[in-house]
Amino acid sequence: MQTMLREEASHFWGLYAASPAQPPPNTHDLRGYLVLRGQSELTLPDELRGLAPGTHSVGRELVLVEDKGPGRLYLVWLGTQAERLFFWSGTLPLLLCLAALYGASYLTYRFFKRLVSPVSWLARQVAQWDPREPDTTALAPEHLPKEVQGEARQLAVALRGLSERVAAQVARERDFTRDASHELRTPLTVIRVASDLALAGELPPRAVRSLQRIQRSSREMEAVIDAFLILAREADVEPQSEDFGVAEIVLDEAESARDLLIGKPVDLTVVCNAKPRLHAPPRVMHVVVSNLLRNACSYTDEGRIEVIVETDQFVVRDSGIGMTSDAMLRAFEPFYRVDESRQHSTGLGLSIVHRLCQRFGWKVELASVLGQGTTATVRFAP
């Protein structure tokens, strides 16, 4: 502020030199007084009389006293008036703008809240639905609130119709799963009982081996049916579980897989470094191990397949055709096959394994090198 006063004084003296008739500054926030040589200071306000050249604070005002040849100049910065001017010209308009902005925002909020509230109400109603049996009573036209009009009412009617169709579809799938399970188990039971009766008699070794293969296949089919039923159920429906040994299941499935290697120069070995036990449906583990071994047998034409059982995992390693990095990314997709020429593969094995492992908190991982083989690891410890 002192610099401003000095600049104002310098400006005035420049104007005065050009025209002695130039009056001192007189604005809203600045007052100027000029006492020429030989004149009395009585023309000055009382608080300015007797002030020496320099800068002085008088109350809330700042005073610059400057001597020049023509006389003495008094410049008074009117702090109170400047603050008042600043308030009326700066602060007050700003406050009014903020108030207007707040008012506009509030009105906009109320307007859009009125528009969005029917949709919010619909969202709350849908969020409360039980996916298995959604209660759509509140969305019936006669039960809709008054504010639900126009497009929101149409949306409510559409949601009600959709939920009814979804509920009907879920019921059909539930009935199909139950009926299909029953119908598939019946012939499998007949096959198993008939093969048991046949094995009880005197048969040649070749017939015994064939009947044993039939029995193993029927057991595998029953395990697959159980696995599909588990995947079809809701996640919060706990399947029937029991304690079982992983090593025993691996050895049993490896024995069945050897039939797939007949005529192939492939050795299948099992190494049990531990005997872990899990609490889950044993048939699920049968399906997981069986599918991994079938994959290894299908894509290995020579070399070896090795299964290693550890405390917290088991590993199936083969020396088959392997996979590229792109194939690895799609390995768990349903119906994806690495080699389309191998028609015996449906492309569902790894997808089923992946879904079953997710269902029971296990983790399946793949590592592969093209032309060198694939390693599948199932980790069942947290």
Q: Are strands 61-67 and 30-36 parallel, antiparallel or unpaired?
A: unpaired
Instruction: Give pLDDT, residue 278.
Output: 94
The contacts of residue 221 (CB under 8 Å, 6+ apart) are: 184, 188
37: its two tokens: 């040589």
Look at residue 382 and tell me whether its pLDDT is greater than 70. no
Separation in Å, CA 345 to CA 5, 52, 264: 95, 108, 17
Give mean pLDDT, residues 51-71.
84
Instruction: Quick: pLDDT tens for 194-215.
Output: 888 888 888 888 888 888 888 8
Greatest Cα pair distance, the chain, in angstroms, is 151
pLDDT of residue 217: 78
Residue 138, pLDDT above cutoff 80: no
Average the pLDDT over each of 69-83, 84-98, 168-182, 236-250 and give the range with the smallest value: 84-98
The residues of the chain that CATH labels 1.10.287 are: 130-239
Residues of the chain with CATH 3.30.565.10: 240-379
Let me know: does 34 contact 71? Beta carbons within 8 Å.
Answer: yes
In this predicted structure, the answer to whether residue 236 has a pLDDT above a threshold of 70 is no
* 310-314-318-324 Cα dihedral, nearest 10 degrees: -120
Neighbour tally for 288: CB within 10 Å? 28
What's this model's pTM, rounded to 2 decimal places?
0.54
Q: In 180-293, which ranges are E strands? A: 242-245, 266-272, 277-280
* Rounded alpha-carbon distances, angstroms, from residue 163 to 126, 137, 160, 344, 353: 9, 11, 5, 40, 32
Cβ pair 167, 175 in contact under 8 A? no
Please list, residue by residue across 212-245, b when 16 or more beta carbons sit within 10 angstroms of its beta carbon and e when fewer do: eebbbebbbbbbbbbbbebeeeeeeeebeeeebb
Phi and psi dihedrals of 300, rounded to 5? -120, 115
CATH architecture of 130-239: Orthogonal Bundle (1.10)
Whole-angstrom distance, CA of residue 231 vs CA of residue 356: 7
pLDDT-derived band at 84, boundaries 50, 70, 90: low
Q: 291-328, pLDDT tens digit by residue?
A: 899 889 989 999 999 999 999 999 999 999 999 988 88
pLDDT reported for residue 363: 95
Spatial separation of the C-alpha atoms in residues 304 and 264, rounded to whole Å: 10
Q: What is the bridge-based pairing of β-strands 313-318 and 373-379?
A: antiparallel
Nearest to 346 by CA among 355, 356, 333, 358: 333
Highest mean pLDDT among 21-30, 160-169, 238-247: 238-247
The separation between the first and the last C-alpha atoms of the chain, rounded to the nearest angstrom, is 72
Q: What is the pLDDT of residue 342?
A: 62
Q: Are 266 and 297 within 8 A, CB to CB?
A: yes
Q: Which CATH number fits domain 240-379: 3.20.20.70, 3.60.15.10, 3.30.565.10, 1.10.260.40?
A: 3.30.565.10
Does residue 89 register a pLDDT over 70? no
Q: What percent of the chain clears pLDDT 70, i.e. is strictly above it?
A: 87
Between 18-22, 198-202, 243-247, 336-340, the lowest mean confidence (pLDDT) is in: 336-340
Higher pLDDT, 142 or 182: 142
pLDDT in tens, 370-381: 999 999 999 986
CA distance to 137, 191, 214, 315, 337, per residue, from 140 (Å): 5, 52, 56, 56, 48
Residue 121, judged by CB atoms within 10 A of its CB (0-12, 13-18, 19+), counts as: middle
Of the candidates 312, 182, 123, which has an alpha carbon nearest to the alpha carbon of residue 174? 182
